[in-house]
Amino acid sequence: MPTFPRARYVTSRAERAYWAGQAMDEARTQMFRDSVLPVEDAGLLDLVDVPDGGTGIAPGVRLVPTPGHTPGHIAVRLTAGGHTALITGDCIHHPVQLARPAIGSCVDTDPARAAATRTRLLDDLAGTDTLLLGTHFPPPTAGRVHRAGTGYRLLPVPARTA
């Protein structure tokens, strides 16, 4: 049963095709059965094509291709009130990858492409006001990317209370 039955679930068509065509181990097969198939069966999964420049799916919400972790991996760019944030997903697993973008994750399907994608993404973000939100980062999970030698670093942005 979908966790959020009134939500719109969106993913890239390439990502869905990749996982559907893989011979997965039992743990991943079970994850697919538990997390993807119920959403599809309920008619809530919206597959979208994500071109190189990304695609908008709602006002202020844009899917950005970040291949390498998987062929159809995407990050999410949010824009509102003159501010921009990027949710990395699995493109950047750990802050150490900012300092050394070539360091991969053992679960990247194409390590060379993942490293190239990370480097391009970090280069695009460096020195901008875009807030990077690291999906898997320990606190601090949000910050701005700055160049540091041959790599990058995350300058944390303190959380604000309402």
The number of domains in the chain is 2
Q: What is the pLDDT of residue 19?
A: 87
- What is this structure's pTM? 0.90
Is 69 in the same domain as 38?
Answer: no
The predicted-structure confidence for 4-43, as pLDDT tens digits, reads as follows 999 999 999 999 999 888 888 898 889 888 989 999 999 9
Task: State whether 36 and 102 are in the same domain.
Answer: no
- What is d(CA 134, CA 142) in angstroms, rounded to the nearest whole number? 6
pLDDT digits over 60-102, tens only?
999 999 999 999 999 999 999 999 999 999 999 999 999 999 9
Contacts 24+ apart (CB under 8 A), 17-20: 17/72, 18/70, 18/71, 18/72, 18/109, 19/70
Burial 94-127 (b: 16+ CB within 10 A, else e): ebebbeebebbbeebebeebbbebbeebbeebbe
Residues 97 and 131 in one domain: yes
Residue 157 sits in a domain of what CATH number? 3.60.15.10
Mean pLDDT confidence for 100-118 = 94
Whether residues 74 and 15 fall in one domain: no
What pLDDT score does 161 carry?
A: 58
Do 82 and 142 belong to one domain? yes
pLDDT value, residue 122: 97
Residue 5 sits in which domain range? 1-49
- Mean pLDDT, range 140-144, rounded to an integer: 92
Final residue in a domain of this structure, among 49, 73, 88: 49
Asked if residue 53 lies in contact with residue 65, where contact means CB atoms within 8 angstroms, the answer is no
Predicted local distance difference test score (pLDDT) of residue 97: 96
